[in-house]
């Protein structure tokens, strides 16, 4: 039997611990990617050329290369240079660095979508550039970027599965191991269920949030 219902029951405990690992990876990495993403987006939007080039370079390199390759550099390239690290830590660092580049563009789009009249009004009321940013632009940006940030969270959660290829014991790795031992696809199907338990409610949340914004008390 290539699909064995009894394996559903027997594989769940192992897959569950893999799921906790995957979940732990995003829960730790995503919040840390946010401040880093903010830094890149501010650099990217800076007045001066040097910080702007720095931000753009980082964002373009990270977004322009596969996450899979970035993982290989970290897990197989760095050790050649004598850099050793716990796989969970290393995985988290790569996810944080990768996601921060995508988040930076989400933040930039959000900030730049705020009507120019808003900052002109704030400035004419005597607010400084900084005050305008923190008290006028950012609060409005936050509501606007929550749906896209949530989909970025979902992407990172699914991207944790790539860590199976570099030896992190997360959900996908457990499924692979059980399938290798039993010659049965069932663990993969159960793993799909574990991913969906998180992604479906979050997708619903994004949809309802977007519907509410479209009805728009505020645009
Ligand atoms: N599969 C893509 C890659 O290999 C995922 C990158 C992450 N994408 C994202 N929006 N966070 O690069």
Query: Within 10 A of 44 (CB to CB), how many other CB atoms are there?
Result: 22
Across the range 23-49, mean pLDDT stands at 97
Per-residue confidence (pLDDT) for residue 217, from 0 to 100: 57
pLDDT score of 216: 63
Mutation test residue for ligand 1: of 159, 163, 165, the one with most atoms within 8 Å of CB: 159
pLDDT band at 218 (very low <50, low <70, confident <90, very high): low
Lining residues, ligand 1, CB within 6 Å: 66-68, 98-99, 102, 152, 155, 159
Confidence check: pLDDT of 219 > 60:
no
17-27: pLDDT as tens digits: 999 999 999 99
Per-residue pLDDT at 109:
95
> Is residue 106's pLDDT more than 90?
yes
Q: Kindly give the distance from the C-alpha atom of residue 4 to the centroid of ligand 1, in angstroms, as a whole number.
A: 33
pLDDT at 204 exceeding the cut of 60: yes
Residue 48 backbone dihedrals phi, psi, to 5 degrees: -85, 155
Q: How far, in Å, CA of 161 to CA of 140, rounded?
A: 34
How many Å apart are CA 61 and CA 64, to the nearest integer? 5
Q: DSSP readout, 27-55?
A: HHHHHHHHHHHHHHHHHHT-SSHHHHHHH
Helix (DSSP H) and strand (DSSP E) numbers for the chain: 9, 0
- Other CB atoms within 10 Å distance of the CB of residue 172: 24
Ligand 1 pocket: which of 69, 73, 98 to mutate (most atoms within 8 A of CB): 98
pTM: 0.92
Nearest CA to ligand 1 atom 6: 67
Average pLDDT of the chain is: 94
Measured by CA distance, the residue closest to atom 5 of ligand 1 is 67
How many Å lie between the centroid of ligand 1 and the Cα of residue 66? Answer: 7
Spatial CA neighbour of 119 closest among 59, 45, 68, 179: 45
Instruction: Determine the distance separating the centroid of ligand 1 and the alpha carbon of 65, expressed in angstroms.
Output: 9
pLDDT tens digit string along 50-96?
A: 999 999 999 999 999 999 999 999 999 999 999 999 999 999 999 99
Closest residue (by CA) to atom 8 of ligand 1? 155
Query: Nearest CA to 10 among 180, 182, 192?
Result: 182
What mean pLDDT do residues 25-43 have?
A: 97
Give me the percent of the chain exceeding a pLDDT of 90. Answer: 86
Count other C-beta atoms under 10 Å from residue 65's C-beta. Answer: 12
Q: How far apart are CA 10 and CA 158, in angstroms?
A: 24
Mean local confidence (pLDDT), 196-216: 92
For the cut 60, the answer to whether the pLDDT of residue 188 exceeds it is: yes
């Amino acid at each position: 039997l290539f699909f064995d219902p009894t394996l559903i029951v027997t594989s769940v405990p192992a897959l569950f611990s893999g799921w906790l690992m995957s979940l732990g990876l995003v829960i730790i990495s995503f919040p840390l990617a946010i401040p880093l993403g903010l830094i890149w987006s501010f650099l990217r939007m800076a007045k001066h050329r040097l910080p702007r080039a720095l931000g753009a370079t980082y964002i373009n390199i990270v977004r322009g290369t596969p996450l899979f390759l970035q993982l290989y550099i970290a897990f197989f390239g760095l050790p050649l240079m004598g850099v050793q690290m716990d796989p969970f830590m290393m995985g988290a660092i790569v996810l944080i660095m990768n996601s921060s580049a995508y988040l930076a563009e989400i933040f930039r789009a959000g900030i730049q979508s705020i009507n120019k009249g808003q900052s002109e009004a704030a400035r004419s009321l005597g607010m400084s550039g900084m005050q305008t940013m923190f008290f006028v632009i950012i609060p409005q940006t936050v509501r606007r970027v929550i749906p896209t940030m949530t989909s970025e969270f979902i992407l990172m959660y699914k991207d944790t599965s790539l860590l199976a290829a570099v030896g992190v014991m997360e959900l996908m790795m457990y499924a692979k191991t059980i399938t290798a031992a039993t010659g049965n696809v069932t663990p993969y199907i159960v793993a799909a269920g574990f991913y969906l338990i998180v992604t479906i409610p979050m997708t619903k949340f994004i949809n309802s949030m977007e519907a509410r914004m479209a009805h728009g008390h505020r645009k």
